[in-house]
Homo-oligomer: A and B are copies of this chain.
């Protein structure tokens, strides 16, 4: 059997609920999306519970599911994906965190969780912490954008199931505690690291200068989102040798794809925001399909408009994604899947558990009678209701990549 390539287009948070501003239509219903409609018409539609009915997906757990893993079995926390998204290599057994540079007073009370939104010279602060060892555990620390940073603990006997250091409020920082015996050492190391970060950073020339200038010093690191990379086979092993790549702007999803074993294709102009270069990303995806079996193309902005409750913005951005798909329609020998990682209804301004529409088109594959791509029409589609972690297996099956099970 001839095999086909796979293109999965994920419009983050695109799925929605009826909007008053749109006379009860969803943004996707209201948007003019001739290219998505054309794919729906030629292919099959359905609704997808990305994790399971009623479960509100995060972007990380949702993408784990879309890559074919069951997040309820393998997800421990966002730390490793954030760390990978910042360009660090995450290894199995690592425990990783996302961090803030924060300001505390001498009683360890937080006075500014973002250290005055520090944006300069955090690389120098990070360098002062990176590479130290605590009880033989290696500290890997890297600055991120503005006050953000990532931390990896590397060594034997670590486990991510610990409580938070970061009080998320202006009060005394917490002491991390182990939730299970296996994480006792990890909590202790994190507490020691937090203390050391204060000792080292409060004396750092960058901070002494900030104090001089009347700015809050970035005198402590508060870590959160403790997690280890999922203990799973890589994407390629998991999907019968499929070689995959991802084109994605935001670091959390980028990191997740990387940890899962996808190659990351960086596209100039891809920002992970509303100002991203949609066409550049789409063109990069088309090009990547020349060398990869599977390409994940991710657009973040619909989710941002959903969080802002910006209905016209969401409609407009969906239309702009659709315009850029014109060239996708010309792809030969490629199965195209369009979906969302979760719903971010403009009315809820947050992720919800509502199912998402999904379409699958491939040359020579079946079609149903659905003619438009949206939440309502997808209800009567030929795919019925599917689960997120089964989608990838369906796609690789349709693409002829799955071996026969049995004789």
- State the A residues within 8 Å of B (CB): 1-2, 17-18, 26, 44, 47, 51-62, 64, 71-72, 75, 78, 225, 252, 347-354, 364-369, 375-376, 379-386, 390, 392-398, 400, 402-407
Contacts and interface: CB of A to CB of B under 8 A. Distances in A.
A402 B57 CA distance: 10
A407 B52 contact: no
Given A44-B379, A385-B385, 19 more contacts: A1-B348, A1-B350, A2-B348, A47-B382, A47-B384, A52-B390, A54-B396, A54-B397, A56-B397, A57-B405, A71-B405, A75-B405, A352-B397, A354-B366, A354-B397, A366-B375, A376-B382, A379-B382, A385-B386
A318 to B, nearest CB: 17
A18 B366 contact: yes
A56 B398 contact: no
10 contacts: A1-B349, A53-B394, A53-B397, A54-B390, A54-B392, A54-B396, A56-B403, A347-B364, A366-B375, A385-B386
Count of identical protomers in the assembly = 2
A310 to B, nearest CB: 16
Contacts of A350: 1, 404
A397 B187 CA distance: 32
A370 to B, nearest CB: 9
Contacts of A17: 364-366
Contacts of A78: 406-407
Contacts of A383: 385
Given A71-B406, A252-B407, A366-B376, A55 B397 contact: yes
A17 to B, nearest CB: 6
Contacts of A402: 54-56, 353
Nearest to A382: B379
A361 to B, nearest CB: 12
